[in-house]
Structure 1
Amino acid sequence: MHAHAPAEHLDQSIAGRFKYAIFLTGATLVAELAGGLWTNSLALLSDAAHVFLDLFALLLSLGAIKLASYPVSDTRTFGWHRMEVFASFINGATVFVIAAIICYEAFGRMVNPEEVKSLPMMIIAAVGLAMNLFAAGALHGHSHDDLNVRSAFLHMIGDAAASVGVIIGGIIMYFSNWYLLDAVISVGIGFVIFWGSWRVVRESVHILLEGVPKGMSVHEVSETIREVEGVQEVHHVNIWTICSHIIALSGHIVVPCGVKDEHGGMLRRIEEKLFERFHISHTTLQLETERCSTEGAKQFRHRPRAASLAHAHAHPHHHPHGGTCSHGHHHH
């Protein structure tokens, strides 16, 4: 269990950075919301909606670290990890609606452009941009260690780009009084939000439907297991995601008769291979002797005890994402 200490320390460090980024992003949201209403700038309000999407993503990421520390129970054997995915889905769906409202408003303004206080609009967008960059800077250090931090960092960069768009629009409107541009920028940011929220909804639904993780194929994983010495056949392979950083696998592995003593070592080699290549940290493997493939599955079904079940978790110190996953042990 000594391997937990550095993982916990990393989690605390990441949580600290997230809190700092959440504070700055929250301040940006309030400033852009109030500023958008005051300056009558729909572009600033749509940027605020974009910031809201990111603030929620940051809160989710911080929540995921907290939820991962909650103990599992008899009724929730995976703990509360799935809450992160569920909240992602609700967030994506909500912001999708907000983006639709922004685009509707913007098309109305294209027909009847309204005057915008372009100078204050620029200043507020510039303040928002500065806060974005500070928040992104805080997260950058950990963006290689943790998937959650990486996605939050990329959100911040997207936000900064939207703020730059608003500032450029403000400068043009200040000199030309071409207020139609405010609506055009809003539509642009609206479409960026549509794309972001659609991706969040699509990914969370895929996880909730127990889909195979992105960029991974059952065939490729099965081939990797077959590379291990002693494995004759692999079937009934299921791969799914529990939350953004826990991937689970279950499968049946056919091995030769009479090598019972080597089962433990074989399972360990399979686990290590799966973890190194695919970051699959939670494996349940059922070993079957070759009898079931030669004598037929029908006969084997009447003799379920011929298979030995092995359940294994990756060791905590293997984990690449700083201990925010279930830490387990081997028992064969």
Structure 2
Amino acid sequence: MTHRVGILGATGAVGQRFVQLLEDHPQFELVCVTASDASAGKPYREAAKWRVDTPIPDDVADLTVRETSPEAIPDDVDLLFSSLPSGAAAAVEPELCEAGYVVSSNSSNDRMAPDVPLTIPEINPDHLGLIEVQRDERGWDGALLKNPNCSTITMVPTLAAIDEFGLERVHVSTLQAVSGAGYSGVTSMEILDNAIPHIGGEEEKMESESRKLLGSFDGTELSLHDAEVAASCNRIPTLDGHLENVFAELAADPDPDEVREAMASFPGADLPSSPDPLVHVFGPEDPDRPQPRMDRMKGDGMQVVAGGVESTPEGVKYNCLAHNTIRGAAGASVLNGELLAAEGWL
């Protein structure tokens, strides 16, 4: 079955990734794009300053950009993907849900709301049950689903794989690409020949979202995972691909081979955009991998990559990597949309 979909905030960096990923999608037909009032009424090819590495699809280029409001969106759209700035999203996403639309959102607002599913389909698909709680509490017929922050998505699949060893505490230091800040987010004078050891709000997102994603849902309420998470987030001059150094304290004492096997064998999801396997693991013969330029496009940019696995006195340390605007943003929302379709929410 093909579902008609739209993109909110379609002209920005992540919005353009949505357009790219939805081209020839087996389940979704893109029929609606929205943006700011300044872009509304223009053909998409004129409104979007296209920067993605493939051409604008012809059928999308000719779409007229709409205002981002419930009144401007066709009634027969089954699903909306949101890449709006968090302030704009906080205002309009509830209005869209009240109007009956289902929204799969990459925006950061409401990720930690107790009645909003924060989902990585391979990790916690059962958390979609929060939609029923959400509808009861908010009194709307639509639904709001979030994917986590790009840095969180990079790490959590590896943590989920090793949780079988008793995950107790996590320390992570990130090396994040400039595309995570948007096209105009970091100037060349700031980042060239430099590294910036602070990304506003990023550490808090990693620390809280990880525990929600790894938490348990009893059908009524979601409980956060008990593990403590501490993050240090840094911006470096790579274009795409967030690299992270993870130190995990475990109750058990697995050797590196057991950890690599747990990650490599962690199951994916039976969804079109989910890679198989979910985590590509480099062995001890490749101690200098993963690397952003070499490995960010594994699994068409949807795979998490891990390597450098070594034992520590408290557990294990390793590196992990994911493409931040594909797996970490637009691709994550598309995958959540596929989960919504598979579970009958559309």
- Normalising by the residue count of structure 2, what TM-score does the alignment of the two structures yield? 0.27
Higher helix share: 1
Query: Which entry has the higher C-alpha Rg, 1 or 2?
Result: 1
Which gives a bigger RCO, structure 1 or 2 (Cα 8 Å, sep 6+)? Answer: 1
